[in-house]
Amino acid sequence: MTKTPRGVRVRRAVCKALFVVGGVITLVCVLLPIACWRDDVAIERSMGQAVAQVDSVSFNRTVVRYATPDGRVIIPSQGVLYPAGLSVGDNVRVEYDQTNPELTRVAGRTAVLSLLPVGTFLVSVWIVIAAVVTVLRRFGTRV
């Protein structure tokens, strides 16, 4: 039995690594909408509504401030769910979990909004992986 050339072994290892990375990314992309749906269910189970003011908008979170009917002012530390299109100073209707006011979303927005960006990202990842694996297989040990 002859030993497989080093280039072929490296190519196979890279292909396997790409598939493992793709699998992990796929798992995360499947879990993300499930987590969003779970948050929506928690909010709908004990829903409160309020008008919130947008205090800050950054890449990773949008901070809002609102008052509950009992007079408490809530500023969710993780920001508001589904904040697309909000700007500092905007007043926006929010829905929150009365048992956990930290869990707040923009009114009328649900986990369905997570499907398009997550799906697009996932398709893009697999297109890149497929292209790299195709190139590696087509050119064999020359790559």
Q: What is the pLDDT of residues 35-91, one digit of tens each?
A: 999 999 999 999 999 999 999 999 889 999 999 998 999 999 999 999 989 999 999
Question: What's the predicted TM-score (pTM) here?
Answer: 0.78
Helix, strand or coil, per DSSP, at residue 81? strand
Q: What is the pLDDT of residues 124-140, one digit of tens each?
A: 999 999 999 999 888 76
CB atoms within 10 A of CB 92: 19
